[in-house]
Amino acid sequence: MRIFAVSDLHTDFAENRRRLQQISSTSYSHDVLVVAGDIADDLRIIDWTLRMLRSRFGAVFYVPGNHELWVRGGECDSIEKFRQVLSLCDEIGIHTRPGRAGKNWIVPLFSWYESDYDQQGEADVSSLEGWADFYFCKWPAEVGSVSKYFLDLNESRIREYDGPVITLSHFLPRRELLPAVENLIFKGLPLVAGAVALDRQIRALNAVTHVFGHSHIDFDQVIEGVRYIHHAFDYPRGEGWSKEPLTQILGAEAQAETDHRREEM
């Protein structure tokens, strides 16, 4: 059994649906896929994408991203949409709750961004004018802090697990996972990228690996003992552009290494 990760499938683009369909329908039937959010906002496309992935992998773990919570027509609010996506996952057999993957546990963590992620206050607020979430997400007044609302949903998942823990979230749990503002194209990104309180949950879980999404800036680095991985399927980049659709985060060898490390501790 191998574990693969991906995020930001954005299959509302026909080209991304085509690229996704090219993933082998036979090679991954014993493997696990971790999907760190941003499939699409249209429930029919989310449904199509999750069914497709479910048919190709032994198991799929997933958390919704911000695009899933858009409610363009005003037919419901973003919390109701979140619940609809989770129900759809239950129906299809996609894991949104903690579950085993061989000796490992995979723990999905819900999240939303908050402005204190931009700890140095470097981001450019004026560049947020066109940020689509501000137009397409609708939060009921009783929710209060959206970031806290989602982090609170994780509390019952924070316990001891009898195996190495891999966590996943759509948003970024640490500022270091994003380049400095001068190196970002979108200078407002740190204001809508992550929540540092999320890292406290990851560390309370003793996670060995955390998979995140959202930034579309690939990352694979160990910080203070936790390996943080971001591998975006990404938006279509035009003719001649190609990228590995998935990244393998754990295989037979990596599993042996983890076991060895645990024995030494």
**Under the rule (CB under 5 A), what is the footprint of Fe ion?**
8, 38, 65-66, 214
Distances 145 to 123, 202, 250 between C-alpha atoms, Å: 20, 20, 35
Helices and strands (H, E) in the chain, number of each type: 7, 10
Q: Minimum distance from CB of 13 to Fe ion (Å)?
A: 11
Nearer to Fe ion, 36 or 88 (CB): 36
Q: Minimum distance from CB of 161 to Fe ion (Å)?
A: 27
Nearer to Fe ion, 1 or 217 (CB): 217
Q: Minimum distance from CB of 244 to Fe ion (Å)?
A: 17
Taking Cα atoms as reference points, which of 236, 234, 261, 235 lies closest to residue 247? 234
Nearer to Fe ion, 164 or 213 (CB): 213
CB-based contact 67:38 (threshold 8 Å): yes
Q: Minimum distance from CB of 53 to Fe ion (Å)?
A: 16
Nearer to Fe ion, 64 or 164 (CB): 64
Backbone angles phi, psi at 129, to 5 degrees: -50, -40
Nearer to Fe ion, 66 or 96 (CB): 66
Residue written as tokens 């908050």?
A: 114
Strand spans (E) along the chain = 3-6, 32-35, 59-62, 99-101, 104-108, 165-168, 207-211, 219-223, 226-230, 247-250
Q: Minimum distance from CB of 65 to Fe ion (Å)?
A: 4
